[in-house]
Amino acid sequence: MRDRDEIEKLYRHHGAALVLFAASIAGSRNSAQDAVHRVFVKLLDRGLKYEVTDAKAYLFTAVRNTVLNDHKQRARVVDLDPDIAWFDPPAQDYHAQRQLQLAIKQLPEDQREIVILHVWGELTFGQIAEVLRISSNTAASRYRYALNKLREHMTAPEGSRVQS
Amino acid sequence: MSNLEEDRFEAYLRTFRPLRPDPLPEFRARSARFRFPFAWAAGAALGGLMLLAGMHDWQVEDHGTPRVVSVAPQVTQSGPLRLRDINSLLTKADSLKAGLDAVTWKPRRVQVGPGQQSALAVLGEDKEKL
């Protein structure tokens, strides 16, 4: 068992990215935060096992499983809410923030997860492969597709975007 | 998209910081303790000071019953007040305050013997400034 300080440190360092990742699956930021909290409360009760070699990948996997289990229990598809902010935009550019959220929303779920894990979770493709149970190459190629789509969406004129 | 463009776009995306989640209730109480790590020590010190002040007040009250205000002993001898006179006054006085009252400076006329001069008088006559 690792101590409480380490778990608190993990929450401080990865909490924001974990909630973002969970929100990209759950749709709602509140349920995402709830899922992340539950994962950490469990960790505090049981401790982080020594056999976990990659704590970051472990946390993202645990959060993903928790959110997917919640989805199964609720048996409903949650639409991503673009009005609830996920990011603190640079130079308070809230227009860009909304554009980015819409762009993320339009990505297929598998690509969306990979973009968030790599860009904001700062996971390597190897770690992403572990979390999503796919190969590193698949993760890398999906990431490139996703990045291109995001870029197209964010640089396209306002009226030409496809709203989903 | 080339690798360079990809890196630049990725760096741009990273300028959007994911919002911080609320702290876990389990950590919240703990972080308050860590934010003020010496709060308990400061509280204990303050408590100690208050206790000392209370004891002091109690002691003053205990001895604070009406009492006869001591009268300062007077210098009986005429002449300048010397250090040994001060010592004697302070030891004979009922209290420190009374002793200090007794040794407060009072103008005394100094008798100068025949053939002697008062240094103060000589200096007073000297008009040249040093």
Residue range B17-63, pLDDT digits in tens: 999 999 887 776 655 555 555 555 666 777 777 777 766 665 555 55
Task: Choose the weakest-confidence range: A10-24, A123-137, B65-79.
Answer: B65-79
B67 vs A23, higher pLDDT: A23
B14/A87 Cβ within 8 A:
no
Mean pLDDT, range A55-68, rounded to an integer: 94
First to last CA, chain B: 93
Give A-chain residues touching B6 at CB under 8 angstroms. Answer: 144, 147
Task: Choose the weakest-confidence range: A147-161, B37-51, B59-73.
Answer: B59-73
The reply to whether A143 touches chain B by the CB within 8 Å rule is: no
Give this prediction's pTM: 0.60
Q: How confident is the model at residue B106 (pLDDT cuts 50, 70, 90)?
A: low
Q: How confident is the model at residue A50 (pLDDT cuts 50, 70, 90)?
A: low
Q: Report ipTM for this prediction.
A: 0.83
pLDDT of B118 higher than 60: yes
| Residue in chain A lying closest to B18 (CA) | A87
| Residue in chain A lying closest to B20 (CA) | A16
Residue A7 near residue A48, CB atoms below 8 Å: yes
Rounded Cα distance between A105 and A24, Å, is 8
A37/B16 Cβ within 8 A:
no
Q: To 5 degrees, how large is the angle CA B6–CA A92–CA A149?
A: 30
What are the C-alpha distances in Å from B6 to residues A52, A97, B3, B13?
Answer: 32, 19, 5, 10
Residue A114 near residue A146, CB atoms below 8 Å: yes
pLDDT of B81 higher than 50: yes
Mean pLDDT, range A61-70, rounded to an integer: 93
Mean pLDDT, range A122-126, rounded to an integer: 96
From chain A residues 101-130, the ones with a CB under 8 A of any chain B CB are 119-120
Looking at CA atoms only, how far is residue A84 from chain B in angstroms? 11
